[in-house]
Structure formats: structure tokens, C-alpha cells
Amino acid sequence: MKMGKRSKAVRFNKWGYIFLIPFLVTFVVFQLIPLISTIVYSFFEYYRAGLKVVGPNFLGLQNYIKLFSDADIWKYTGNTLIIWLMGFVPQIIVSLLIAAWFSDPSLRLKGQRFFKTVIYLPNLIMAAAFAMLFFMLFSKGGPVNSILVNSGIFAEAYTFLDHVWPTRILIAFMNFLMWFGNTTILLMAGMMGIDTSLFEAAQVDGATSTQIFFRVTLPLLKPILLYVMITSLIGGLQMFDVPQILTGDASPNNTSRTLIMFLNNNLYSKNYGMGGAISVYLFVMTGILSLLVFKFTNGKKK
Amino acid sequence: MAVKFDDKQKASKGVGIGIRRVIAYVVLILVSFLCLFWFYVLFINATRSEGDLNRGFSFLPGGNLAANWTKMLNFPMISMGTGMLNSVIVSTLTAALCTYFSTMTAYAIHAYEFRLKKPMFTFILAVMMIPTQVTVLGFLQLVRGMGLEDNFIPLIVPAIASPVVFFYMKQYMESVLPLSLVEAARIDGSGEFRTFNSIVLPLMKPAMAVQAIFSFVSSWNNYFTPSLILHDDKMKTLPILIAQLRSADWREKDMGVVYMAISFSIFPVILVYLILSKHIVQGLAMGSVKG
């Protein structure tokens, strides 16, 4: 009887492997093989000059040496991080504030569902279309200039996208708009998980709501805040659609060109060796950040 | 009464609750305005003629909706109608494959005991964070090698392996699918594949709906990979066409029509969102508590 049951279980459990086949085959073909070949390309001289294809010739680490000794990669890494940070700081502040208000029972805010729906909306909007919209709105003859000039704030139309910081601020602002709703909902979920008796105890002890926020809520939220920050940074490294379409990759002196835009340029010019090296660079950075996330989420469960 | 007393007690310490509530509403209304204003301007401008637009900004719609619509559909070089059709095909198939196979993968890990179960689970979680951009160079070479450039297959089929959706499905499955149910189906003589399709899938419907929406939207909005794979005008999806509008010499174009084109490409998502927003926002929180 027991023997029969076990063999039956084994007979069924082979289905575990069978049901995994679609995932595994797709993963190996469309992600693992491309990843390996990307890494392999990074060690080869392989590019197109006009109609002539050079390589593939094995180069060893030459691509990496060239990549990292050139100022470009550091400049674009800096651009990406600066623009990410400019969007992330207001995002985390506003999200924390709204999440704290929403989960504060003594405030009893009405219309929470409406506000949640509205602040999450920009996240679902096509980034390409949103960037194109901002390009039109902030163009020289666009509505924003029309409002600023008509109301007398500006004497004449201002070309936002011809200036370094206005361009960066616009990209960061769009990132902020697209992601703060998402962050708010994540943080709210974290706040709901906090034992309410802690708040009550603090209230009984005479703490003000500001004190409760900084002394109770914030320390307890630390793991989820770290999670939000690192996943946002991983997302920030992939920043592409918004700066690409807003600036048309023609930002002043390339001050808004991000790492993925740099990779994209190498893909279009068919410089596979260098493109591979940039990809590996991004892969390593993302890998380190992911390991951190992994550590935090595993620690949280224990 | 008790509540009122509580309010008064608080008012004596720190900032009064009434003032805090007012501040909260003011900030919420302000950020809501920041979220909606741009889209309001977009839809207003899509109804205005080139002459209206040149005269300056207005909060009221113009009378050029139909004319802009017709002109947009007849853009030279950029066919928005074809783009919409292509986007619908790619996104729908992506959402279908992604949810069906992610549920299947989750079922494999949830319902069966096999030696590689734990390592497989860890492996899928580990590859969750690999961005598609990092592997896109090798991916492009592969697609070219297979002769699948200007084809929807490389945009749709990879969605079968979606670790994030898998993870969501597995979390959900743990709460709705008792293994005794699978056991009972076996005793009744149901095959494993049939059990999955006729017993597991119906139970998973709510989670599949949420993930179908998310994968549909992310495929709909995807610009990076499609722009590298689709070069034939007949195959291009909406984000590529929007980017083309940007690079074309827009000064010579009717701006109202460009606003119309942007509205056209985001309107389906806004519509779906407004109808299903309750489930979407809830589903999002559901996943995030566990994730």
C-alpha cells in the first residue's frame, strides 16, 4: 500500500518537470543564449564600417579597456545616476507622505480610491507617448510657453530642451510622475503590515503624529524603503524611452544621454564588440543590486 | 463621541487633526492635478485646429476632433491604424501566453515534489532582475539568425518565461489551491494536464486577469525591443510610430493631428484602466505585500 502510493507520487511528480518545459525552453533560447552570446561578443572585435564587416576577431579585454578608459561611459553613467536621483528623491518623499496619510486611521481621508487610481495612472501610460507629449507641451510654441508668456512670467518663449538642467529636470519630473504612485502603493502595503498596537502604545505615551512617523513608522519601514530604493535604481539604470524620445538623443552636449541610449547607439551603428562590453557592464551593476535585494527580502522573511 | 474625544485629545498635542487633514487634501489634490493636467491638455489639444493651437493655450476643447481624427488616420508614411492593429495583436498574444504559461510554471513548482524543485525556484527568482536591455544584443543576433526580423514572434514568445508573473502566480496559488483538490481530481481519473486546465486555471482566474492586464500594458508600451526588430512600416507598433513622429520635422505638421496621434495610442490603456482600476490597484497591493 505504502509502496504503491510512493510510486504513484513519483509517477505524478515527473509532471513537475513536464510543466516546467515551456518556461525553461523559452528562457534558454531567448534569454540565456542571448546573454551568453552578448558576453562572448564583448571579447571580440566585431563592427561594421560602412559596408565592410570587421571581425569577429578575438581581442581579450581590449573592448573593456577601451570602454573604461574613455570618458563617455563615466559621463553617461553619471547622467543616468543624476537623473535617477533627481526623480527618486521627490518620489520617495511624496510617496512616504501620502502613504502615511492614507494609512493613518485618525485622519480618515475620504476618496482614497480615487486618489490611488489617479496617482497610479501615469505608470500605465506609454512612456514613448508621454515623452512625445512633454516634447510638444514644452516646445517653443507649445502650451507651457504660451501660458508662461501670456501670464507674464516669462518675457519670451523659453527653449527648455536646449538647456542642460531644464532637460534633466523634465526627464526626472516625468520619472517622478510615472513612479511615485507605484511607490506609494508599495509603501502603504508595508505600513499596513505594521502592528497597530505599536501606534496605540506610542499615542498613549503621548507621542505626536510627527513623532510617531519618524520614531515608529520610518524605522519599521526601513527594509521596504531599501527594497524600493534598490529596485528603483535597477529601473533607473534601464532609463531609455523618456530621455530618448524627449530629447531625440540630441540633448545639449549629450548631458541627458543615458547608458541604455549609449548601448542603443552601438546597436544601431552595429558595433557589437563595444555593445557587448556595455551590456556586461550593465549586467554586473544590475547583478550586484539584485543580490542586495535578494538579501533584504530573504532577511525579511526570517 | 469617543472619536470626537480622541480628536480633541490629539489637537492638544502637535498640529491639530483638522489642519493636518486640510494639508493632506491640498497636497493630494495638487499631485492629482500634476498627474492629470498633461492628459487634459493632450485631449483638449487633440480637438483643436492648427490655427487654434497657434493662437495659444485654451482650457476649452475646439471643434476639430473629427478633422484631426481623419487626418491622423491618413498620415503620410506613418499609418496609425496599422500600428494600432499591430499593437493589439502583439499585446493580446503576449498577455495570453504570459499568463497561461506563468500559471503552468507556478503549478509545476507548487503542486509537485521533485528533486530540482528548490533549485529551480531559486533559479527563477535569481533571473528575475535581468533586464531585457542587457541581453538585447545577443537577442538581436539570434533573431536575425532565425530570420525572424520584422516578425512578431520574437516579441510575443519570450513572454512565456516571465519570472515576475510566475512569482505572483505562485504566491496566489498557495492561497487558493489546496493540494487535496488536485488529489481528488486524480482519484476521479483526471489526467494531470486536464486537471491543470479544468480545475487549476478557473481557480486562478482573478490573478490571471490582473497579470493579463499588466503584461498587456507593458507589451503595449514597449518601445526598446520592437524598435530594434520591426523595420517594415507594415509591422510597426504604436510606440515606434510615436517615436517617428518625434524625429519627423514636426514644425511642418499639423500639431493638432500629432496630439490626436498621441491620444489615440494611449487612449485604449486609459479606458481599460478606468473600467478596471479597482482590480488593478488592489491586485498591485496584493502582489506587493507578498513580493
SS3 annotation, chain B: CHHHHHHHHHHHCCCCHHHHHHHHHHHHHHHHHHHHHHHHHHHHHCCCCHHHHHHCCCCCCCCCHHHHHHHHHCCCCCCHHHHHHHHHHHHHHHHHHHHHHHHHHHHHHHHCCCCCHHHHHHHHHHHHHCCHHHHHHHHHHHHHHCCCCCCCHHHHHHHHCCHHHHHHHHHHHHHHCCHHHHHHHHHCCCCHHHHHHHHHHHHCHHHHHHHHHHHHHHHHHCCHHHHHHCCCCCCCCHHHHHHHHHHCCHHHCCHHHHHHHHHHHHHHHHHHHHHHHHHHHHHHHHHHHHC
Nearest by CB to B56, which of A116, A150, A241? A150
Q: Please answer yes or no on whether B104 and A22 come within 8 Å at the CB atom.
A: yes
- Joined together, the cell numbers standing for residue A270 give 552595429
The pLDDT score that the predictor gives to residue A138 is: 92
* φ/ψ of residue A29, rounded to 5: -70, -50
pLDDT in tens, A19-73: 999 999 999 999 999 999 999 999 988 888 777 777 788 888 888 998 899 989 9
pLDDT band at B17 (very low <50, low <70, confident <90, very high): confident
DSSP secondary-structure letter at B76? Answer: S
- Which one of B20, B113, B246 has the shortest CB-CB distance to A209? B20
pLDDT band at A299 (very low <50, low <70, confident <90, very high): low
Q: What pLDDT was estimated at residue A8?
A: 57
User: Among B89-103, B175-189, B272-286, which stretch is predicted with the lowest mean pLDDT?
Assistant: B272-286
Residue A1 pLDDT class (50, 70, 90 cuts): very low
Look up the domain containing A67 and give its range.
Answer: 63-301
| Res A156 pLDDT > 60 | yes
Residues 151-190 of chain B with CB under 8 A from chain A are 154, 157-158, 160-161, 166, 186
Q: Which residues contact A246 (CB under 8 A, 6 or more apart)?
A: A131, A132, A134, A135, A161, A167, A170, A171, A174, A256
Provide the ipTM.
0.88
Contacts of A92 in chain B (CB under 8 A): none
Q: Which residue in B17, B21, B31, B130 has the most chain A C-beta atoms within 10 A of its own C-beta, making it the best mutation to test that interface?
A: B31
Give me the residue from B10, B255, B281 closest to A120, CB to CB.
B281
**What DSSP element (H or E) covers A56?**
strand A52-58
User: What does the pLDDT read at residue B6?
Assistant: 47
The residue assigned the cell 539568425 is B145
Q: By CA distance, what is B145's nearest residue in A?
A: A34
What is the structure's pLDDT at B14?
Answer: 56
For the record, the C-alpha cell of A224 comes out as 521596504
A126 CB within 8 Å of a chain B CB:
yes
Q: Virtual CA dihedral for B201, B202, B204, B206, nearest 10 degrees? A: 140
User: What does the DSSP assignment read for B134-189?
Assistant: HHHHHHHHHHHHTT-TT-SHHHHGGGG--HHHHHHHHHHHHHH--HHHHHHHHHTT
Q: Average the pLDDT over A231-242 and give the result.
A: 93
How far is B11 from chain A, CA to nearest CA, in Å? Answer: 9
A268 found inside a domain: yes
Q: Does A238 touch chain B (CB under 8 A)?
A: yes
- In this prediction, residue A10 carries a pLDDT of 61
Cα B176 from chain centroid (whole Å): 25
Where residue B126 falls among pLDDT bands split at 50, 70, 90? confident
* Cβ distance of B192 and A15 shorter than 8 Å: yes
Average pLDDT in chain B: 87
Q: CATH number of the domain that A244 lies in? A: 1.10.3720.10
Distance CA A189, CA A196 (A): 13
Looking at chain A, the whole-number percentage of residues with pLDDT higher than 70 is: 95
CATH architecture for the domain at B72-290: Orthogonal Bundle (1.10)
Residue A1 distance to chain B (closest CA, Å): 15
Most confident of B24-38, B112-126, B277-291: B24-38
Task: Tell me if A154 is assigned to some domain.
Answer: yes
**How large a percentage of chain B has pLDDT more than 90?**
56
Q: What is the pLDDT of residues A78-125, one digit of tens each?
A: 999 999 999 999 999 999 999 989 888 778 888 888 999 999 999 999
Of A101, A117, A293, the CB nearest to B129: A293
Residue A14 domain flag? no
Q: Which three cell numbers stand for residue A178?
A: 510615472
**CB < 8 Å to B289, chain A:** 189, 192-193
Helix axes A272-301, B117-126, angle to 10 degrees: 120
Task: Report pLDDT digits (tens) over A177-208.
Answer: 999 999 998 898 888 888 888 888 888 888 88
Q: What pLDDT was estimated at residue B227?
A: 94
pLDDT score for B4: 44
* Contact assignment for B238 to A182 by CB distance below 8 Å: no
Strand partners, A47: A54, A271
CB A212 within 8 Å of CB A204: no
A153 close contact with B: CB closer than 8 A: no
| pLDDT at residue B155, as a whole number | 96
Instruction: Provide, as residue numbers in chain B, all residues whose Cβ is less than 8 Å from the Cβ of A140.
Output: none
pLDDT of residue B285: 62
Residue B105 pLDDT: 96
* Contact (CB<8Å) A209/B277: no
pLDDT above 90: residue A259: yes
Number of folded domains in chain A?
1
Q: Residue A62, SS3?
A: helix
Q: Look up residue A53 and give its DSSP letter.
A: E
Non-local CB neighbours of A106 within 8 Å, separated by 6+ positions: A209, B6, B7, B10, B17
Q: Which residues of B touch A206 (CB under 8 A)?
A: 13
Residue A234 Cα, gap to closest chain B Cα (Å): 8
Residues, chain B: 291
pLDDT score at A290 = 84
What's the pLDDT at B83? 94
**A7 inside 8 A of chain B by CB:** no
Q: Identify the band that residue B1 occupies on the pLDDT scale cut at 50, 70 and 90.
A: very low
A4: pLDDT confidence band, cut at 50, 70 and 90? Answer: very low
Least confident of A3-17, A233-247, A274-288, B107-121: A3-17
Is residue A14 within 8 angstroms of chain B, CB to CB? Answer: yes
Interface contact B129-A286, CB threshold 8 A: yes
Q: Is residue A147 one of the residues assigned to a domain?
A: yes
Chain A residues near residue B35 by CB distance under 8 angstroms: 118-119, 121-122, 177, 181
Q: What percent of chain B has pLDDT over 70?
A: 90
Give the pLDDT score at A302.
38
Q: What is the pLDDT of residues B157-171, one digit of tens each?
A: 999 999 999 999 999
| Domain presence at residue A112 | yes
